[in-house]
Chain A
Amino acid sequence: MQTVKTLLLTFASLCVGSLSLQAEVKTYDFEDPKGVNNVSFLLDAPLESISGNAKGVSGIVTFDSANPKAVSGTITIETASLTATNNKLQEHMLGRGWLDASSHPTITFVAKSVSKVEELKDGFKAQLTGDFTLKGVTKELTVPVAFTYLPGMLGKRSNGAMEGDLLVLRSTFTINRSVYGIKPGQNSDKVAEEIELRLAIAGAAPDA
């Protein structure tokens, strides 16, 4: 009898342990109907400074608050959503000569591995390595990312329509346009070679 009781207790504790482990792994959807998720870009050339913003962000990230190294997922930006403050500049930027948005409609980052994880008060920061694709050219990049985990905050954000957690990702990194075949070595006096990208996006994981 004692053996059966012990076995039942062990089985029950294993089940609870397994459930709690599963509960920590969540999939966050970065589709944002509120229009808050954004990636800003800055090109600071000697003769002209170009800046703008992209809001066509989507993607799925799987995140385990207990095991940050297990992050995986993809973030996608619609190339056509890149907006500059000048219509002519925007037309040129999205045109065939530069980003060629019609032939390359998305810019993507596919996460592959996480390193140098440092715990923060409400999340952690880490170096995220992944494949970054721009204008059809894919290069491996390692970028610093701050993960802010906001458990139970989806309800507040959706005015109670949905309950769940939020995950905020922030990253600032620089790429070189020549590497991605964007007019290599041309117009450098007006269009900087280096593009600074600032990403600030929030994903939602509704409770099942």
Chain B
Amino acid sequence: MTDTQRIKSSPFRLVLRISALVLILVSTVFWISTGSHTGFSKDRVEIQQVDPITQIEYVDYEERFVLGVEYLVLAWGLGVTSFGLSFAFRRKPK
């Protein structure tokens, strides 16, 4: 059996495509669920408050992770790369 023949029967193509789909979908859903934040990731979220007596505006923090675009771009990049790599394992037409 030659190398080319081994590649023909490789299950990698399907695995790579499913991985790409999972990466893109999961990262997008998680990004949307944490608030579709367009900046970098946050480990805490600002909550604006106003002191009723002095009218001073101040910020309280809620400890909550918000996914930023850097992870989204990374996940999409890996997904697209994985999808692209899957073509390397394409079956040759008979």
- Asked, given contacts A86-B41, A86-B42, A86-B43, whether A153 binds B53 with beta carbons under 8 Å apart, the answer is yes
Whether B57 is near chain A, meaning CB under 8 Å from some CB there, is yes
In the complex, A166 Cα to B54 Cα: how many Å?
Answer: 8
Per the 8 Å Cβ criterion, residues 27-63 of A in contact with B are: 34-38, 40, 48-49, 53, 55
Cβ contact of B56, chosen from A87, A156, A201, cutoff 8 A: A201
List the B side residues contacting A187 at CB < 8 Å.
none
Which residues on A sit within 8 Å (CB–CB) of B43? 85-87
Hey, which chain A residues are within 8 Å of B60, CB to CB? 35
| Closest chain B residue, CB of each to CB of A199 | B56
- What is the size category of the interface that chain A forms with chain B? 20 to 34
Chain B, 9-46, CB within 8 A of any chain A CB: 39-46
Within 8 A of B (CB), among A148-166: 148, 150, 153, 156-157, 166
Question: B56 and A200: CB pair below 8 A?
Answer: yes
Contacts of A153 in B (CB 8 A): 53-54
Number of interface residues of B (CB under 8 A): 19
- Knowing A48-B40, A85-B43 are in contact, say whether A40-B53 is a contact too (CB < 8 A): no
Say if the beta carbon of B59 comes within 8 Å of chain A: yes
Is there contact, CB below 8 Å, between A157 and B53? Answer: yes
B7 to chain A, nearest CB (A): 42
Residue of A nearest to B44 (CB): A85
For B46, give the chain A residue with the smallest CB separation: A85
| Minimum Cβ distance to chain B for residue A61 (Å) | 15
Cα distance A35–B42 in the bound complex, in angstroms: 22
- A156 near B46 with CB under 8 A, answer no
CA distance A38 to B54 in the complex (A): 13
B51: interface (CB < 8 Å): yes
With A and B bound together, what is the CA distance between A83 and B41 in angstroms? 15
B69 CB → nearest A CB, Å = 12
Q: Is A195 an interface residue (CB 8 A)?
A: no
Task: Sample 25 A-B pairs with CB under 8 A, ordered by A number.
Answer: A35-B58, A36-B56, A37-B58, A38-B56, A38-B58, A40-B59, A48-B40, A49-B39, A53-B46, A53-B58, A53-B59, A83-B61, A85-B43, A85-B44, A85-B46, A86-B41, A86-B43, A89-B40, A150-B53, A153-B53, A153-B54, A157-B53, A166-B54, A168-B54, A168-B56
Besides A36-B49, A85-B44, A85-B45, 20 new A-B residue pairs in contact (Cβ under 8 A), listed by A number: A35-B60, A36-B54, A37-B56, A40-B59, A48-B40, A83-B44, A85-B46, A85-B61, A86-B41, A89-B40, A148-B54, A153-B53, A153-B54, A166-B53, A166-B54, A168-B54, A168-B56, A200-B56, A202-B54, A202-B56
Footprint of A on B, CB under 8 Å?
39-46, 49, 51, 53-61
